[in-house]
Each structure stands twice: as C-alpha cells, then as structure tokens.
Structure 1
Amino acid sequence: MGYWKWLFKKIFNFFGVIKYALKLKGYRVLAYGFIIYGAIGAIAIMFNQVILVF
C-alpha cells in the first residue's frame, strides 16, 4: 500500500513539474523533468524486479 501511495505522490509531483514548466514556458525544463523522472522510474522498476527475484 505504501508503494502505491509513493507512486501516486511521484505522479502528482510529475504533473506539478509539468505545470510549473509550462508556466515558465521553459520547454528545456520540461525535457529535463522527463529525463529525470524517466531515470527514477527505470531505477524503481529495476529495484522492483530485483525484489521479485529475491
């Protein structure tokens, strides 16, 4: 349950980043946000698979 709460919080933070970037009209900021969140997501998925293996 805690994992889902964390995931939803991350998703809401992500939308907050998008709104903030659009407010600034800083598409570079938006691109960096996607890269950073993509990396975090990939790491989280890898850890999830490691946990499932063990």
Structure 2
Amino acid sequence: MQRWRRTWNEGNPRALRSQGPASLPRLSQKQFTQLEADLAKGPAAHSREDQR
C-alpha cells in the first residue's frame, strides 16, 4: 500500500500536508527570467515549425 494512503487510512490527514519542495530550484532567478522570456517568444523563434 502507498505510504500516503496508509497515513490517510490511519486517520491522520494532517500528516498529508505539503512539507514544501523536496529540493531547491536548480536555476537562479536570472535564469528563470531568461527561460520565461524565451518561452514567451514561442517555438517559431527557436526554429520550430509548429507547437510540438
């Protein structure tokens, strides 16, 4: 049985609350900003013919 299901069945739903991210992001804030800008340009700006 899955651990979360066992916890739920034992009557402790509060134990299922999120504990936050498992790890810190690997990208810096500057890298995230650049990634968002590149994604906003769309696939055509990166030599892609369609949305795939």
Q: For the superposition of Structure 1 and Structure 2, which TM-score range results when normalised by the shorter chain?
A: 0.3 to 0.5
Please identify the structure whose Cα radius of gyration is greater: 2
Q: Which has the higher contact order (CA 8 A, sep 6+)?
A: 1
TM-score under structure 2 length normalisation = 0.35
